[in-house]
Structure 1
Amino acid sequence: MELPLIISVDDHVIEPAHLFDTWLPAAYRDRGPRPLTTGIGALEYTGGKYRFTMDPDGPPADWWIYEDLAFPYKRNIAAVGFDRDRMTLEGITRAEMRPGCWDPGERLKDMDLNHVEASLCFPTFPRFCGQTFAEAQDKEVALACVRAYNDWMVEEWCGDSGGRLIPLCLIPLWDVNLAVREIHRNAARGVRAVTFSEIPTHLGLPSIHSGYWDPFFAACQETRTVIAMHIGSSSQMPAASPDAPPAVQATLSFNNAMASLADFLFSGVLVRFPRLKLAYSEGQMGWIPYALERADDVWREHRAWGGVRDLIPEPPSRYYYRQVYCCFFRDKHGIAALDTVGRDNATFETDYPHVDSTFPHTKAVALEHVQGLDEETVHKLLRGNAIRMLGLDFDSARPAAS
């Protein structure tokens, strides 16, 4: 089987050191994020949280310094090019990274090596939905940083890629009216995706049930902006025992996506905004069949006391199939249940440059998953659904790569 070129809906970018010096207005630069290269001390990941120290005598790492935050880049988030057993929590400099992590021209070369035509990239230093700026004390500077990041994303990271790098923008999470303005500002220049928290209450923000976010949802519906929610965008990862190794959180990572989907299915948001599109990034999809079965069963049997009798007029799974996309890259169980997951709902990712990335073997990994599926379904999974979800200009009839 010859595979069509892939459109990856979940990759990541390591921000270049010049980002805020170049794109943040001069009046804010002395209070904005500053790059620094210095040593890092012991670094560990416990209970879903990183713990580290800055140590000038330690191994060098590239950092961002912003207000009272010191943020180091770590090898596990810039892992491509390293042997599997060297994808550790050690600090890393950009000079040690594969250049495609932070250089758009080099990223395109790596995409060519990896059978990928187009890529949607989540932020790193701002965190998956801009939590870094939402937690800042000076919100005037934070808003300028959000706008500067979005300008860099659209004009520099994606600008010369011929549409192959797809812009994914931030919103100022702390003010829904400012968020609406940023959605419209970016939509006016062709942006069709925004990153948002899977569970905003974990960030101290209003829930999706409160009605607070309805203007944001309305703006996204009006502009056809997809709301992309990455696992970990609630600044929490599912955990079991507090002293469990990080492998436990990695195994349970899909739980946040599952919880968020249940939240949305019973919130009424998808009823009030029937053209709104949600995308669950890096959540995989093998869990979806039972989650939908259980949601429909709860709706049938428990909707009166469960508080959704008058809120959700149809079985929740209908809203999923109409408005929600999942994302996978290693999930054979999900492929086996594809008719329930939804052949029109599943999209593919490579997770470059994270430790989970399939680079440079993405074509082989994809083939292993879709072997035996019909040509139309393969096209949908690897590119067609992403084109439709994001409203891309790519020609769906393009020939497969040789």
Structure 2
Amino acid sequence: MTSEASGTTEIPKIISVDDHVIEPAHLFETWLPTKYRDRGPKPLTAGIGGLERVASKYRFTTDPNGQLTDWWEYEGNLFPYKRIIAAVGFSRDEMTLDGITREQMRKGCWDPKARLADMDLNHVEASLCFPTFPRFCGQTFAEADDLEVGLACVRAYNDWMVEEWCGDSGGRLIPLCLIPLWDVNLAVAEIKRNAARGVRAVTFSEIPTYLGLPSIHSGYWDPFFAACEETGTVVCMHIGSSSQMPAASPDAPPAVEASLSFNNAMASMMDFLFSGVLVRFPKLKLAYAEGQMGWVPYALERADDVWEEHRAWGGVRDLIPHPPSTYYYRQIFCCFFRDKHGVASIETVGVDNATFETDYPHVDSTWPHTKRVAEEHVGGLPPDVVYKLLRGNAIRMLDLDFDK
């Protein structure tokens, strides 16, 4: 439908494929089996201190005089919540790396009923949420010393996600589950366990080798990809799910990393296009979260040129039978929320390949102005394209019941 007064297409209710959840303090006490609770994650509230370097990693310390902050303690390590990951409701100048408590956050960050109310305020019908404390694809549990407890934590998180966070939402909160990254057979079992109760999305690392895991070229992950294909489970990869963000100079300000954040999604997509994974698993679906899409047209052009001109010495002559863009248009979804260049190139990006997000409650979130942002980006496009970008492609990607 097009508004005659403005000449712009009416904006349908949005389905966001990339939002985030702040885990409630009771999660592991409630959902972790009793025998693991003493060794599982525990919530605490304390002042936040500075950073210290321990065994090549940076860790936060507590300080009784520091900003009051909610944390998780797990295997002797401390994980604070910071304001930039619960930024909705704050001004841009207040969106800092300071610690924050759940009480100081907008309640929709961690309470499902409040989240639904905030979605109503934001013209959003449904939302897929990535984790925070477990990190984007469950790295926290993969790095644990006690992987028996780590596995129990993965399952506990998934049970909470399906039964509590999404359970009473009428399908508006869409479950996104973790896998135990350290064991592909356990990962397959978890995919099937969750698919049996209707889960159709799993989070995975964009570049698993950055986590010390086998590459997608090795064949190690093929049973995982096969299980996802068999169950219709979408492999969702968020920027930063490799625990590294691209940068230039080592002393560059964080703004450089923020500006280059799409690079990991582009590198990951090239990896998949030339891996043979999408050839072997033609019904597997990949989704890139928060990577935007303005880079996609040239990436596809370059990939096809390399395949055409360099496939023999490039090692893909017998591996990739068709131009790489073939597999992108068939099996890969990108997503955007501020990308006018990508929208201007939407025919090449793919009107059937792009989805939308709000990034609630992160510093980049468009809440509560997402409808206006969507109008500014896609309001001039044909109604059928607007529908696909803002909800239709997400419905098809995740096999949702909306509009059926």
Q: Shorter-chain TM-score category?
A: over 0.9
Unpaired segments of 5 or more residues in structure 2? 1-8
Q: Structure 1 residue 230 and structure 2 residue 238: aligned?
A: yes
Q: Structure 1 residue 105 and structure 2 residue 84: aligned?
A: no
Matched with 2:78 is: 70
- Equivalent-residue separation in structure 2 for 1:224 and 1:50 (angstroms): 38
Provide Cα deviations, 1:265-302, integer angstroms capped at 9, x if missing partner: 00000000000000000000000000000000000000
What is the RMSD of the two structures over their aligned residues, measured on CA atoms? Answer: 1.2
Matched with 2:25 is: 17
Q: Structure 1 residue 196 and structure 2 residue 204: aligned?
A: yes
- How many Å apart are 1:161 and its aligned residue? 0.1
Letter of the 1:33 counterpart = P
- Equivalent-residue separation in structure 2 for 1:184 and 1:370 (angstroms): 37
- Equivalent-residue separation in structure 2 for 1:43 and 1:281 (angstroms): 29
Matched-pair contact (CA < 8 Å) for 1:43–1:90:
no
Q: Structure 1 residue 361 and structure 2 residue 377: aligned?
A: no
Pick closer, same or farther for the CA change 1:358–1:50 going to 2, 3 Å.
farther
Letter of the 2:30 counterpart = T
Matched with 1:266 is: 274
Q: Structure 1 residue 294 and structure 2 residue 305: aligned?
A: no
Pick closer, same or farther for the CA change 1:43–1:374 going to 2, 3 Å.
farther
Matched with 2:101 is: 93
Match of 2:130 among 122, 125, 128: 122
Percent identical among aligned pairs is 83
Letter of the 1:325 counterpart = F
Matched with 1:400 is: none
Match of 1:216 among 221, 224, 227: 224
Provide Cα deviations, 1:23-79, integer angstroms capped at 9, x if missing partner: 0000000000000000001369xxxx8653211221110000000320000000000
- Equivalent-residue separation in structure 2 for 1:313 and 1:16 (angstroms): 48
TM-score, normalization: structure 1?
0.97
TM-score, normalization: structure 2?
0.96
Letter of the 1:357 counterpart = S
Matched with 2:290 is: 282
Matched with 2:11 is: 3
- Equivalent-residue separation in structure 2 for 1:20 and 1:41 (angstroms): 25
Q: Structure 1 residue 133 and structure 2 residue 164: aligned?
A: no
Matched with 2:249 is: 241
Matched with 2:88 is: 80
**Secondary structure in 1 aligned to 2:252?**
coil
Matched with 2:47 is: 39
Aligned pairs, number: 393
Matched with 1:176 is: 184
Match of 1:58 among 66, 82, 91: 66
Matched-pair contact (CA < 8 Å) for 1:229–1:281:
yes
Match of 1:308 among 298, 316, 332: 316
Q: Structure 1 residue 148 and structure 2 residue 152: aligned?
A: no
- Equivalent-residue separation in structure 1 for 2:170 and 2:125 (angstroms): 11
Unpaired segments of 5 or more residues in structure 1? 397-402
Provide Cα deviations, 1:211-261, integer angstroms capped at 9, x if missing partner: 000000000000000000000000000011111110000000000000000
Matched-pair contact (CA < 8 Å) for 2:71–2:79:
yes
Matched-pair contact (CA < 8 Å) for 2:47–2:66:
yes
Match of 2:195 among 187, 193, 199: 187
- How many Å apart are 1:137 and its aligned residue? 0.5
Letter of the 2:145 counterpart = Q
Q: Structure 1 residue 335 and structure 2 residue 343: aligned?
A: yes
Letter of the 2:240 counterpart = G
- How many Å apart are 1:19 and its aligned residue? 0.1
- How many Å apart are 1:171 and its aligned residue? 0.1
**Secondary structure in 1 aligned to 2:282?**
coil
Q: Structure 1 residue 393 and structure 2 residue 401: aligned?
A: yes
- Equivalent-residue separation in structure 1 for 2:19 and 2:250 (angstroms): 29
**Secondary structure in 2 aligned to 1:228?**
strand
- Equivalent-residue separation in structure 2 for 1:253 and 1:54 (angstroms): 29
Matched with 1:399 is: none
Matched with 2:6 is: none
- Equivalent-residue separation in structure 2 for 1:262 and 1:172 (angstroms): 25
Matched-pair contact (CA < 8 Å) for 2:45–2:68:
yes
Matched-pair contact (CA < 8 Å) for 2:79–2:133:
yes
Matched-pair contact (CA < 8 Å) for 1:43–1:89:
no
Matched-pair contact (CA < 8 Å) for 2:10–2:383:
no
- Equivalent-residue separation in structure 2 for 1:181 and 1:117 (angstroms): 31
Matched-pair contact (CA < 8 Å) for 1:171–1:182:
yes
Matched with 2:169 is: 161
Matched with 2:262 is: 254
Provide Cα deviations, 1:167-225, integer angstroms capped at 9, x if missing partner: 00000000000000000000000000000000000000000000000000000000000
